[in-house]
Amino acid sequence: MTRTVDHAQDMTTQAVPVARRRPRHSLRRRQALRAYAFIAPSAAIMGVFVLWPLISSARLSFYQSSEFGPSTFVGLGNYRELFADPVFRGDVWRTLIYAVIVTPVTIGLALMFAVMLNRRLHGRTFFRAAIFLPAVLSLGVMAIAWDYLLNPDIGLLPQWLAPLGISFGAGQADPTTAFIYVMIVGIWKNVGFYMVMYLAGLATIPNDLYEAASIDGAGKFRQFRSITWPLLANTSAFVFIMATIASVQAFDQIYSMTRGGPYFSTETLAYLLYRKGFLDLDFGYASAVAWILTIIVFVVSIVQQVFFSRREVRY
């Protein structure tokens, strides 16, 4: 979208001498109209499917509504109730912990795999595909498989790993273990996608930089620290923002594996939204949760945006 607008402005400057006779603003206006026409289809789609739901959910968050019959205006009632609810406060806390752990671990692993698989290696395609595969599978479905695999009583993994002294304890029944499980599955799902992003980023780094570095006597680690990592800054910015948003909205594997339990110990804000909206049919309350979640994502995204824009690289 930005590009279309920029382009239209470029054309204006070039076109001015040709259209000297006509009043300048008429041409500009026509071009502006054309630009708007180009934007219109996307704007209409965004308006109907993004803006309108956003506005109506904002409105809904001030009502008590079951989406049937008249809704009652409750002002900030839903928000007040929300902040007084210890489960909600726990969910905010868990959502943040999830994001703070899952985001860097996912990105770290993605970068590691990308660097490893960027070299010539036997079975490189196989490994790339194997790591990328989860990204295209349905997380809801795969989480059901994970739930089976990790089940302490009938699961394969505890059975196989027990002889190695790796204990799964009570598995999903243990609040801490259950939370670790949903985090592991969340990481497993996304590593492949970000790895591909990093592989694309790595491909843009000119090889002569590495040659020059190695002539200067820089080792592999030094090369990574001084060339690879700084030149991947743009990719990292994108990946960090996407990964953070994905983490804050964790839902699928929680729904499939634990339903937020035991006793809310794996519940995140996205699951609370589902539980309040679609199980309790309290859509006003759920909309309030959705807005808190949106605001959290908004703030985190802006902070990240400011942070990364200072580190943008051009080469």
Partner 1 sequence: MKLLRVGAAVALAAVVSASVLTGCSSSGGSSGSGGVVDLSFWNGLTGPDKPAVDHLISQFNKTHPKIHVTSDPIPWDVLYAKLLPAFGAHKGPDLIGISSDNLPEYASKHVVQPLDSFFSNGVAKSTIVSSALNAGTYQGQVYGVPIESTPVLLYYNKKMFQTAGITSAPTTWSEWAADAKKLTIPGGTDGNPKQYGMAIGTNNTIELFPILMWMANGGILSPDGKQVLLNSAGSKRAATYWANLIHNDHIAPASLSGADADKLISSGKAAMEVNGPWATTGYKQAGIDYGLAPIPTGPNGQHISVGSTTVLAVSSAANSDKMKAAATFYAYWTQQNSQVQFSLTSGFPPVTNNVPASELAKNPDIAAFAKQAGTTRPLAPGQTTFASIENDIYDPTIEKIIANPSQAGSLLDQAATQVKSTIASGG
**192 counts as binding partner 1 under rule CB under 8 A:** no
The only residue of 241, 243, 250, 254 in contact with partner 1, by rule CB under 8 A: 241
**41 counts as binding partner 1 under rule CB under 8 A:** no
Q: Cite the DSSP H helix spans in the chain.
A: 2-15, 24-46, 52-60, 77-84, 86-117, 124-136, 139-150, 156-161, 175-203, 207-215, 220-223, 229-231, 233-248, 252-257, 269-274, 283-309
**294 counts as binding partner 1 under rule CB under 8 A:** yes
Closest contact distance (angstroms) between CB of 304 and partner 1 is: 8
Q: Which is nearer to partner 1, 223 or 301 (CB)?
A: 301
**4 counts as binding partner 1 under rule CB under 8 A:** no
**50 counts as binding partner 1 under rule CB under 8 A:** yes
Q: Which is nearer to partner 1, 60 or 115 (CB)?
A: 60
Backbone torsion region of residue 215, taken as left when φ is above 0, otherwise alpha when ψ lies between -120 and 50, otherwise beta: alpha
Q: How far apart are CA 276 and CA 265, in angstroms?
A: 16
Q: Which is nearer to partner 1, 5 or 213 (CB)?
A: 5
Q: Which is nearer to partner 1, 134 or 152 (CB)?
A: 152
**Residue 269 φ/ψ, nearest 5 degrees:** -60, -40
The CA angle 130-135-137, to the nearest 5 degrees, is: 90
The only residue of 1, 100, 133, 313 in contact with partner 1, by rule CB under 8 A: 1
DSSP letters along 138-194, please? -HHHHHHHHHHHH-TTT-HHHHHHGGGT---TTGGGSHHHHHHHHHHHHHHHHHHHH
Backbone torsion region of residue 283, taken as left when φ is above 0, otherwise alpha when ψ lies between -120 and 50, otherwise beta: alpha
Contact assessment for residue 263 and residue 175, using Cβ atoms and an 8 Å cutoff: yes
The only residue of 134, 192, 201, 277 in contact with partner 1, by rule CB under 8 A: 277
The only residue of 54, 121, 130, 145 in contact with partner 1, by rule CB under 8 A: 54
Q: Which is nearer to partner 1, 54 or 121 (CB)?
A: 54
User: Strand, helix or coil at 118?
Assistant: coil
Q: Which is nearer to partner 1, 117 or 273 (CB)?
A: 273
Q: Which is nearer to partner 1, 130 or 299 (CB)?
A: 299
**Contact track, partner 1, 132-171, x by CB under 8 A:** -------------------xxxx---xx--x----xxxxx
Contact assessment for residue 174 and residue 212, using Cβ atoms and an 8 Å cutoff: no
**245 counts as binding partner 1 under rule CB under 8 A:** yes
**181 counts as binding partner 1 under rule CB under 8 A:** no
The only residue of 68, 119, 221, 315 in contact with partner 1, by rule CB under 8 A: 68
CB contact set of 256 (below 8 Å; sequence gap of 6+) = 139, 140, 141, 143, 144, 147
| Maximum pairwise Cα distance, the chain | 88
Closest CA to 57 of 289, 310, 295: 289
Q: Which is nearer to partner 1, 115 or 270 (CB)?
A: 270
Beta-strand pair 72-73/63-64: antiparallel
Closest contact distance (angstroms) between CB of 26 and partner 1 is: 27
The residues that touch partner 1, with contacts defined as CB under 8 A, are: 1-2, 46, 49-50, 53-54, 56-57, 60, 66-69, 87, 151-154, 158-159, 162, 167-173, 175, 241, 245, 248-249, 259, 261-264, 270, 273-275, 277-283, 286-287, 290, 293-294, 297-298, 301-302, 305, 309
